[in-house]
A and B are shown apart, each in its own frame.
Chain A
Amino acid sequence: MPQPKRKAAWIRLVEQNAGLVLSAVLLVIAIVLYCAIYYAAQGRLPGGFELTTTVNNTMPLVFAGAAQAIVVITGGIDLSVGGVIDLTNALAALYLGDSPLSMVLCTIGVIAVGGACGLLNGLLVAYGRLQPILVTLATLAIFQGLAIRVLPAPGGSVPEAYTAILANFEAPYSLVFIVVLLVVWALVRRTSIGVGIYAIGNDDLAAKSSGVKNLRSRVTAYVLSGMLAAVAGLFLVANATSGDPTTGNGYTLRSIVAVVLGGISLFGGRGTPISAVIGAFVSTMIVNILFFAQIDPLYQSFFEGVFLVVAVLLTAIISRLMRRRAVA
């Protein structure tokens, strides 16, 4: 048998986390580009205020991207992310009270509603053996409808204290929530369900033959996704300080973009939601860059698309090069 030929630990780490590394590289490129353009436009470098706004503006997408990533890792896709955000956003705007107790209960309640939305998706996909894309397309419409029912027009209000916690204007305190997200994910990854989520994304039948609880893992993935989307809805409402039952609509596509920019394979079984978090920031930086480049807002989506294609091409090319090196 061939002699042992072990790779150095760090090379293996980079190779096995190529998506994460690539998204980090993309983020660095985007930040440098942003600073340069900002400097050209404003005559100084961006400071604390810019950092805080960027973080606050990105938080909803951070959680929406993570929500999408978990389902994508199982080999599925969740188009209902935007609908869950609409619904939870509306519920929060309506029910958030000023007392700390009300805020805690309302937060828990809203996340539970998100989890219930995910449960519906998960049950239909896992037990109904339906295509995730069809199920979540249908539930997207359902959740959007429910959101309009809950809050027919933009309105409601968010207590200032709530905004101060989730979207503080003074400093990027909400980065703490990203740390919480990472810790929670690290723990989930270390459970049988976490292993199962990756296993079913790799190969459903093989997972089953290996003794993985396929149905349970899949349903849990959708429930987690729904809960994370609900958190995204809470961040959105806190940042806007009032509710809007349609504000989440764009998040379905943007969450997929964050996942792709995070270098997570849409085929499933690979990658980590952490890189979707980074992908979310890359996505925000692209918008910032376009803003300071004084692109006519009318053309903004055109350039966003161009950036996206370039980023995705870059990801594909670099990961192919890395793979070739790994084989050689």
Chain B
Amino acid sequence: MDSPSALDPPAEAAGPSAPLLVECVGLRKTFGGVVALNDADFNAIAGEVHALVGENGAGKSTLIKAIGGRIRPDAGTIRIKGQAQALGAPEDGHALGIRTVFQELTLLGGMTVAENLLIGREPRGRLGFIHRRRMGEEAEALLARMGIEHIDPLALVEETSLAERQIVEIVRAINNRPDILLLDEPTSSLVEREVNWLYGQIEELRKRDTCIIFTSHRWHEIRNVADRITVFRAGRHVGTFEDIDESEAITLMTGKRVSTLYPAVPPLPARDAALEAKGLRGGRLNGVDLTLHKGEILGVGGLAGHGHRELFFSLFGAERTSGGEILVGGKPVRLASPRQATRRGIDIALVPEDRKTEGLFLGMSIRNNMTLSVLGRISSAGVLNFGAERRVAEEMARRLGVRMQGLRHPVGSLSGGNQQKVLIGRWLLMEPRILLLYDITRGVDVATKHELYELVSRLAGQGHSILLYSSDAEELAHLPHRVLVMREGRIARELAGPDMTAESIVSAAVRDTAQS
């Protein structure tokens, strides 16, 4: 299935007419035994926005790091502005007008936003010493010039949110007026409005003839801003296109044919309530009413900060409520801790978005990570039964289609989507009836998304009830039976049937906000 002849890709874009700003030929990079780049080619020209797509682990970040000078390829040539370059350090790239926003951000947490923004180009006083007060003012002016007013330049980076850090990093890169700007998943932690801000910045840069290379897993983003799209698979360049639709791209990324991204919604059995919330209050929640039926996939949407996170964590007992009721199977329950939520008879499980900080132990094996929730069941007299543990984990990994080298490898070695599957597997082992899935496809590549969608749909078909929050309106429009749009801590709108489109979900969230 890997053979390209089995595919008939759409016509590749004609060779670029403008001179090449970035030209990579035959790049190869291995990490231990893992081949991250395998004879990879890539090129980009001035004034274009070039999207780089591929599954998690396809080598996108490695390519960006090679061009940005953070790593040195084992073999191959990188030509920048026509000159072959041996980039060994980021500053080599800086000297050539290359700036990079790496996927793992590179801000210094214990230093202020201003220090981070202006590092290396701090304003100096008469004696050549850094002028701290002017630095704060300059940073403030710089942020304001780019339309950012909510970030305090004198705050420490560690006091800011992930999205704010992402923005600071982007501002810093742009402020250095690069000829080549590399952005590795710049939107992964941004909300809609911030994403639009970024588009605006990219548009400005394009006008200034900057070459922008970015990676993303959000297809509508790629389609909206990219002039050309390059597909990578398994460390190789598969093709570069001016126009390609999503399913064709997925086919190229995976080497498999995928007819549709979203599976058919499974039929609903009798409308028995599995989980109900009545007038739920506390934190940002301001009286939430909802009913999740047995076998139903119920979507939850809305802008960030409007309470969906609190809703999910309250329903899991991880956040305190100050009023209202939660009913499971028609009976009121008190959920003061996740332990109570996962108890037999209640059987609620939550899969959070941030796998690294909220669930997985990256250094531990896939097997240990999966069976953490059921250690009691696979132990006798307090002693873990390794045989049982392996059997249980093997079975679950097969059921979920975790792509791995082996159960004994650390979870950290898996791609993001497969890490997500391990986390889902952990909760499925507890045989929960109710699954709370909180933005589980964020930062996951399209192909793995497809697998996760099929999994969600299958689980619902098997009678699990699923409450699903997603920051991707497209996903909400296709995967669930119904969608609730939240606003200011309440359910503002319920959408079902033909009304359930990405546009209506977004506009429900936005219009309602505008009215307030």
Contacts and interface: CB of A to CB of B under 8 A. Distances in A.
Interface in A4-19: 4-7, 12, 16
A192 B135 CA distance: 13
Given A1-B194, A2-B150, A195-B115, A269 B110 contact: yes
B100 A209 contact: yes
Contacts of B131: 190
A149 interface: no
Interface in A240-279: 269-270
Contacts of B110: 198, 201-202, 269-270
B193 interface: yes
Nearest to A6: B152
Contacts of B148: 1
Interface residues of A, number: 32
A210 B122 CA distance: 13
A99 interface: no
A203 B165 CA distance: 15
Interface in A184-212: 187, 189-192, 194-195, 198-199, 201-203, 205-212
Contacts of A206: 105-108
B257 interface: no
A3 interface: yes
Interface in B96-138: 100, 102, 105-112, 115-116, 119-120, 122, 125, 129-132
Question: Chain B contact residues: over half helix, strand or loop, or mixed?
Answer: loop
B89 interface: yes
B208 to A, nearest CB: 22
A133 interface: no
Contacts of B197: 1
Nearest to A187: B129
Contact of A191 (B100, B111, B130): B130
B171 to A, nearest CB: 13
A326 interface: yes
Contacts of B155: 7, 12
Contact of B89 (A2, A190, A208): A208
Nearest to B124: A190
Contacts of A209: 70, 90, 100, 102, 106
A195 B120 CA distance: 9
B154 A12 contact: yes
Contacts of A6: 152
Interface string A149-163: 000000000000000
B150 A4 contact: yes
Contacts of A210: 90, 106, 108, 116, 119-120
Nearest to B163: A1
Contacts of A198: 108, 110-111
Interface string B139-154: 0000000001110101
B94 interface: yes
Given A2-B305, A209-B102, A211-B90, A190 B108 contact: no
A41 B70 CA distance: 65
A301 to B, nearest CB: 33
A202 B159 contact: no
A194 B122 CA distance: 12
B213 to A, nearest CB: 17
A203 B106 contact: yes
Contacts of B194: 1
B89 to A, nearest CB: 7
Given A2-B150, A198-B110, A203-B106, A208 B119 contact: no
Interface string B145-177: 000111010111001000000000000000000
A269 B108 contact: yes
A198 B112 CA distance: 11
B204 interface: no
B108 to A, nearest CB: 4
A3 B148 CA distance: 10
Contacts of B193: 1
Contacts of A269: 108-111
A212 B111 CA distance: 14
B91 interface: yes
Contacts of A16: 112, 156
Nearest to A269: B110
B431 to A, nearest CB: 36
Given A210-B106, A211-B119, 17 more contacts: A1-B148, A2-B150, A4-B150, A6-B152, A7-B152, A12-B154, A190-B129, A198-B110, A199-B119, A202-B108, A203-B106, A203-B108, A205-B106, A206-B108, A208-B89, A210-B116, A211-B91
User: Lowest 7 A-B CB distances belong to which pairs?
Assistant: A206-B106, A190-B129, A202-B108, A190-B130, A209-B106, A269-B110, A211-B120
9 contacts: A4-B149, A187-B129, A191-B130, A195-B130, A198-B108, A199-B119, A206-B105, A212-B120, A269-B110
